[in-house]
Amino acid sequence: MSVKDRLLAVLVAVLWGLNFLAVRIGLDHYPPLFLSALRFLVLAVPVILFVPRPKAPVRWLVVYGLGFGVLQFGLLFLAIDQGMPSGQASVVVQASAPFTMLLGALLLGERVSPRQLGGIALAVLGMAVIAVERARSAALLPLLLTLLAALGWALGNIASRQARPDHPLRFALWMSVVPPLPLLALSAVMEGPTTGWRALGGSFDADGWPGLAALVYTALAGSVVGSGIWTTLLKRYEAGVVAPFSMLVPVVGVAAAWAVLGEELTGWSLTGGVAVVVGVLAGTGWAPRVPFRRSSGGAPLEGREAVTSAAPPRGRARPRPTRTDRTENQSPEPTAPAQNTHRS
């Protein structure tokens, strides 16, 4: 993975980490399912009118929209509304990374290297430390909803990789066409057919601008920018290479919740965040590799000595044996009769 693509993956993690803060602010003004539907609806209309549809199988676009849109955002918004702290939600939803790697291995036959497994294990350990530290006051239902949201994210990751669209950003934008109708239907059944629309009408007064700002951020930063970059990376690399970067999201989410919402940041939470960062770096191959081989006597060779002792590059001619070497390595040929020494 190139340095540029790694930086892009980190940028997506920052955008998605701040997204949890925006969701918490938006839920103070809108019902959760209606807010998630509105998030995609404000994008779906201009996308249908002005954005050409990408060349990708429709079935993968639908699966991407249902997984990434309906399951992830619908259940995540509902979990936060039911009492899941935004910082803790940003941690638990990162179960999408091991879910994605598991689905990639089971459904796509992608290989997971021991190095990736070690980095993911360390990151999961750090994530567990943060989750346990914050799970003392969380109910079981919000935790389960957040885990299901993580599974929806993983399904979206797999679908976007399988689609291989010709234009990833257009694909991410057209994904927003799928979630509004299912989410609006769920909102009408569970929240009331007019509850969300009344909340939307009241958000245009002097006290409603934070909700509108949160809606714009989740729609533009989360969908247009974040999902577009993420889909591009999934098109270039295997899911197991890209997915670990999502574990940087809880670091940003916990820090933003602590700075803005006053959620406590303990020493255990900080330790877990560091473990997540180190695990992502190790799992994606950022750690430097030192050339290592053993000499004929069994001692390891490192650095310049190891390089100079390596085999010659392929294609380089080997040194020609000397006359003495040829004489020693060849069997003596029988002496030819005198009359046959001269050939016509």
Q: What is the pLDDT along the chain (344 residues), one digit of tens a residue?
A: 888 888 998 999 899 889 999 999 999 999 999 999 999 998 899 999 999 998 889 999 999 999 989 999 999 999 999 988 888 788 788 777 777 877 887 888 788 778 778 877 887 888 788 777 766 666 678 888 988 998 998 899 899 888 888 887 788 889 899 999 999 999 999 999 999 999 888 888 878 888 888 988 988 887 778 877 887 888 788 877 887 787 788 888 888 888 888 877 777 777 887 887 787 767 665 544 444 444 444 444 433 333 333 344 444 444 555 544 444 444 444 444 444 433 43
Residue 224 CA from chain centroid, whole number: 16
Indicate whether 55 belongs to any domain: yes
Indicate whether 316 belongs to any domain: no
Indicate whether 217 belongs to any domain: yes
How many whole angstroms separate alpha carbon 55 and alpha carbon 52? 9
Specify burial of residue 301 (Cβ count, 10 A radius: 0-12, 13-18, 19+).
Answer: middle
The H or E element containing residue 180 is helix 180-190
Indicate whether 103 belongs to any domain: yes
The H or E element containing residue 35 is helix 32-50
How many whole angstroms separate alpha carbon 127 and alpha carbon 301? 37
What is the extent of the structural domain holding 189? Answer: 3-283
Indicate whether 104 belongs to any domain: yes
Indicate whether 304 belongs to any domain: no
DSSP class of 293:
E
Indicate whether 171 belongs to any domain: yes
Terminal Cα-to-Cα distance of the chain (whole angstroms) = 66
- Looking at the structure of the chain, the number of domains it has is 1
How many whole angstroms separate alpha carbon 246 and alpha carbon 230? 10
How many whole angstroms separate alpha carbon 280 and alpha carbon 69? 25
